[in-house]
Amino acid sequence: MTGAVRMHRRARILLANLLGLCLTLHASAAWAGPPFLTDDPEPTDTGHWEIYGPLIEGEGRGSTFEGSAGVEINYGAAPDLQLTLGLPAGFAHDDAGWHWGAGDIAVSAKYRFYHDEQAGFSIAAFPGITLPTAGKAMGSGKVTGLLPVWLQKDEGVWSVFGGGGYAINPGAGNRDYWTGGAAITRQVGQNLLIGLEADRQGPDTVGGRASTSLGLGAIIQLASPFRILASGGPSFADGCDTVGFHTFLALRSDF
């Protein structure tokens, strides 16, 4: 469950431009990471918690879609180190109706190994795995993994972040694949951040299609410590005329 597509040539151009912009900006940071498909290198502050929940995300085409609902917990375990636990329930909808069940638990660790506060530039690795805790209808039945590197450049109210990595996707009919993307965001006043992103994923099944997703996202600061995060947009599979979609909605609290 990730990724989606659009016109391949334009996707590559947009990603190249965003990542190029990433190398030319500098200075102070805004919020980043969720609700975007693309992640950022900024870890949770040491000794602090971030909780995303309730959290709902999904993707699909027309009346056929799948996703998860649940909670994600981040903890700043040490300087530049964030530990993450995802506890989802899976859902799917097709011609036969709705299907629900336990999802695959996700465990990951983000380590920011380079940070230049004056230049506003950071790089982090964020390896993670999913554990086969879901029923067969809601999960892969295998341990899967993602080995990404994320980078970020900030200047004032602007932030550009992106990167990607290699996904390990075992199982009958599945294949490993590369995935990545880039996003640009702008802080609008003290209580609102908006952003655009492009995300690219290789085929995750034998004979499958690569895909590109475009998205618009926003973070709204409520009364402390709460924020609403939302994003969504179209997905385009290579060689497919039907446009898909992806969406994300969560309430975040920090303490």
Confidence of residue 14 (pLDDT cuts 50, 70, 90): very low
Average pLDDT, the chain: 89
CB atoms under 10 Å from CB of 101, counted, come to: 14
- 3-state DSSP assignment of residue 246: strand
Cα–Cα distance, 102 to 99 (Å, whole number):
11
pLDDT at 255: 94
Confidence of residue 68 (pLDDT cuts 50, 70, 90): very high
Does the pLDDT of residue 8 top 60, yes or no? Answer: no
Indicate whether 3 belongs to any domain. no
pLDDT at 99: 87
Residue 123: CATH number of its domain = 2.40.160.40
Indicate whether 63 belongs to any domain. yes
pLDDT at 32: 58
Indicate whether 121 belongs to any domain. yes
Cα–Cα distance, 212 to 180 (Å, whole number):
10
Across 194-216, average pLDDT: 97
What does the pLDDT look like over 58-67, one tens digit per residue?
999 988 999 9
Does the pLDDT of residue 24 top 50, yes or no? Answer: no
What does the pLDDT look like over 43-63, one tens digit per residue?
999 999 999 999 999 999 988
Domains of the chain: total: 1
SS3 for 43-86 is CCCECCEEEEEEEEEEEEECCEEEEEEEEEEEEEEECCEEEEEE
pLDDT at 137: 74
Cα–Cα distance, 46 to 97 (Å, whole number):
44
pLDDT at 30: 46
Does the pLDDT of residue 1 top 50, yes or no? Answer: no
Cβ–Cβ under 8 Å, residues 119 and 112: no
Across 113-126, average pLDDT: 97
Cα–Cα distance, 90 to 132 (Å, whole number):
12
Q: In sequence order, which residues have a C-beta less than 8 Å from that of residue 203 and are 6 or more positions away? A: 175, 177, 209, 210
- Predicted model pTM: 0.85
Confidence of residue 3 (pLDDT cuts 50, 70, 90): very low
Across 78-93, average pLDDT: 96
pLDDT at 83: 98
What does the pLDDT look like over 241-251, one tens digit per residue?
999 999 999 99
Name residue 130's amino acid. Answer: T
Indicate whether 201 belongs to any domain. yes
Confidence of residue 20 (pLDDT cuts 50, 70, 90): very low
Indicate whether 86 belongs to any domain. yes
Does the pLDDT of residue 19 top 50, yes or no? Answer: no
Indicate whether 2 belongs to any domain. no
pLDDT at 139: 81
Q: Which domain holds residue 40?
A: 8-254
Indicate whether 180 belongs to any domain. yes
Indicate whether 1 belongs to any domain. no
Does the pLDDT of residue 31 top 60, yes or no? Answer: no
List the one residue out of 239, 235, 231, 237 whose CA is nearest residue 57: 231
